[in-house]
């Protein structure tokens, strides 16, 4: 287990990591920032960090929004070990469990669920540096895990509970939105960010064009650059 410096929202945090533990990306940063902006005054709320990895989402939110109760879970046992170590380091009041998606929480309901589980095409995730030694069984259109979270979270939220998740253009956005509308009455896009595709993915131009033609992903191509987007969804009962 090693300590690593992680920069989030211009702040540096030193966190414990082991092999196979997901390291925060720009999407993680954007998700956390968007959640905090939307919920500046919350207190005494139950917050589930789904796919917690190192526990970074809970750690930052706890740093900015005090007096909430955190729950964290991940399929990776190494993630649970690191999350526990980091929670103790940052003195976070929380419960941490090992398991897939909502399986550890069948008897719980939450005021907020924050999902930072992979949501890009599995074909592309294997070629990127975002998921080194981390399983990302998302399907070719990148929606498998996101849709499962949307379906299952309905039962795990309180009456006024909210689900937050990133919707990246490297998955079938239309499919995700269509499913979300079947389960939630109120759907908002709270933030949007556009970014250039990393170099390790840029070189897969034929594959990218093929996936776009099949409506599995989307992007713009301008000035010799692939332009993608991340939108933060807020789903409310």
Which residues of the chain register pLDDT less than 70? 129-136
Q: Do 18 and 86 contact (CB within 8 A), yes or no?
A: no
Residue whose C-alpha is closest to residue 22's, from 86, 91, 117, 112:
117
| CATH number for 58 | 3.40.50.150
Q: At what angle do helices 173-183 and 144-156 cross, to 10 degrees?
A: 20
Between strands 110-115 and 94-98, the pairing is: unpaired
Q: Are 115 and 50 in contact (CB under 8 A)?
A: yes
**Is residue 143 included in any domain, yes or no?**
yes
pLDDT score of 131: 62
State the Cα–Cα distance between residues 14 and 235, nearest whole angstrom: 32
Residue 201 lies in a domain: no
pLDDT score recorded for residue 148:
94
Whether 236 contacts 185, CB under 8 Å: yes
Let me know if residue 224 belongs to a domain.
Answer: no
Segment (H or E) for 181 = helix 173-183
Per-residue model confidence (pLDDT) at position 89: 95
Residue 213 belongs to some domain of the structure: no
**Which tens digit of pLDDT belongs to each residue from 182-211?**
999 999 999 999 999 988 888 899 999 999
pTM of the entire predicted model: 0.93
> Mean pLDDT across the chain, nearest whole number?
92
Length in residues, the chain: 237
Range(s) of the domain holding residue 9 = 2-196+230-236
In this structure, the dihedral spanned by the alpha carbons of residues 174, 179, 181 and 182, taken in order and rounded to 10 degrees, is 150
Residue 21 lies in a domain: yes
Q: Is residue 176 part of a domain?
A: yes
Q: How far apart are CA 155 and CA 104, in angstroms?
A: 14
Is residue 58 one of the residues assigned to a domain? yes
Give dist(CA 145, CA 56) in Å, integer: 20
């Amino acid at each position: 287990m090693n300590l690593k410096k992680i920069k989030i929202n211009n702040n540096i945090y030193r966190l414990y990591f082991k092999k196979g533990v997901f390291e925060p990306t720009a999407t993680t940063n954007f998700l956390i920032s968007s959640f905090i902006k939307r919920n500046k005054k919350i207190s005494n709320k139950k917050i589930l960090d789904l796919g917690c990895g190192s526990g970074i989402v809970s750690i930052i939110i706890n740093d900015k929004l005090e007096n909430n109760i955190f729950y964290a879970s991940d399929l990776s046992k190494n993630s649970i070990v690191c999350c526990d170590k980091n929670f103790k380091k940052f003195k976070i009041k929380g419960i941490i469990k090992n398991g897939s998606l909502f399986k550890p929480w069948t008897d719980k309901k939450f005021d907020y669920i924050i999902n930072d589980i992979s949501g890009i095409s599995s074909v592309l995730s294997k070629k990127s540096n975002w998921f080194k030694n981390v399983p990302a069984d998302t399907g070719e259109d990148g929606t498998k895990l996101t849709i499962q979270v949307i379906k299952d979270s309905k039962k795990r939220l309180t009456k006024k509970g909210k689900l937050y998740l990133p919707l990246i253009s490297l998955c079938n956005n239309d499919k995700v939105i269509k499913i979300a509308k079947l389960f939630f009455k109120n759907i908002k896009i709270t933030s949007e960010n556009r970014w250039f595709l990393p170099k390790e993915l840029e070189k897969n131009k034929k594959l990218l064009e093929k996936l776009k033609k099949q409506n599995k992903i989307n992007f713009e191509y301008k000035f010799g650059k692939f332009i993608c987007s991340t939108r933060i969804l807020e789903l409310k009962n």
